[in-house]
Amino acid sequence: MKPVIIISTYPDKKSILKIAKELVKNKTVACVNISKISSIYSWNKKIENTSEYLAIFKTLTKNKKFLKKRIQETHPYDVPEIAEIYISSINKPYLNWLTESTI
């Protein structure tokens, strides 16, 4: 099994906690790291500077299609970021845990 990371940003902690708990509970992901960040971006012809929450979803490639679909379905943004990061190297004990923690 190959590991993959999917990242997304959320406007508040409540919106990411709900989906993160669901995905860990149903074993779609092994873990979701959540960090408060500042984002500067262009939206509707304005430069925005807002606080957001960065979510790092850790899973296996076999789950990524479903994971991306659930993020899209539950995301509060009109245009959510759903970016996939391939992992070329990972330590064996962590990979074993990741595999055992997902379906």
The whole-chain average pLDDT of the chain stands at 96
User: How is domain 3-101 classified at the architecture level of CATH?
Assistant: 2-Layer Sandwich (3.30)
Strand order in the sheet with 83-86: 31-43, 46-60, 3-10, 83-86
CB 8 within 8 A of CB 80: yes
Quick check: 103 pLDDT over 90? no
Q: Looking at residue 1, what is its pLDDT?
A: 78
pLDDT of residue 47: 97
Which pLDDT score, from 0 to 100, does residue 20 have? 98
Query: pLDDT of 17-63, one tens digit each?
Result: 999 999 999 999 999 999 999 999 999 999 999 999 999 999 999 99
- Sign of torsion, CA 2 83 16 77? negative
